[in-house]
């Protein structure tokens, strides 16, 4: 093989390589341009998405604060209800004691009235009985 043939062979291989590389390089440039455009669009969309995420987080934080306030209010209400129940129970015990005392007093009063009426009737019957003197002095 002579040098000329070798040189022609190398030139042919180079021409084929350049012919194949030029479309590949052009495709790489187009791909790079599309990738750059895609990255720019994604940056814009991510910026908007981040703003929405921040707004959502602020809303969630506000809701969480509101829930905390409601929970605190519910806790205070529960404590108030518990205190009220204790006061009502205390009052009920006082009313029960008062009713028991009143019941005892009513029983004693009833017994006293019955005894008094019995004594009155006995006294009246003995004073006006036909057997004896109607006057006992």
What digits encode the pLDDT tens for the residues 85-100?
A: 999 999 989 888 888 8
Distance of alpha carbon 71 from alpha carbon 65, whole angstroms: 10
Residue 137 binned pLDDT confidence (cut-offs 50, 70, 90): very low
Question: Which tokens sit at 113?
Answer: 């009235």
Q: Are 127 and 134 in contact (CB under 8 A)?
A: yes
Distance of alpha carbon 60 from alpha carbon 52, whole angstroms: 12
Distance of alpha carbon 91 from alpha carbon 100, whole angstroms: 14
Q: Are 124 and 116 in contact (CB under 8 A)?
A: no
- 62-121 confidence digits (pLDDT tens): 999 988 888 988 889 899 999 999 999 999 898 888 888 888 888 888 888 999 988 888
pLDDT at 134: 53
Answering whether pTM is above 0.75, one says: no
């Amino acid at each position: 093989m002579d040098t000329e043939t070798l040189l022609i062979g190398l030139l042919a291989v180079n021409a084929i390589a350049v012919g194949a590389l030029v479309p590949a390089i052009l495709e790489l440039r187009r791909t790079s341009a599309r990738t750059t455009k895609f990255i720019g669009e994604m940056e814009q969309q991510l910026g908007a998405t981040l703003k929405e995420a921040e707004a959502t987080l602020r809303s969630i934080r506000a809701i969480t604060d509101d829930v905390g306030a409601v929970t605190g209010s519910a806790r205070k209400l529960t404590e108030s209800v518990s205190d009220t129940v204790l006061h009502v129970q205390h009052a009920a015990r006082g009313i029960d004691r008062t009713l028991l005392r009143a019941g005892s007093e009513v029983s004693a009063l009833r017994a006293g009235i019955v005894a008094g009426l019995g004594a009155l009737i006995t006294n009246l019957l003995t004073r006006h009985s036909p057997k004896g003197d109607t006057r006992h002095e």
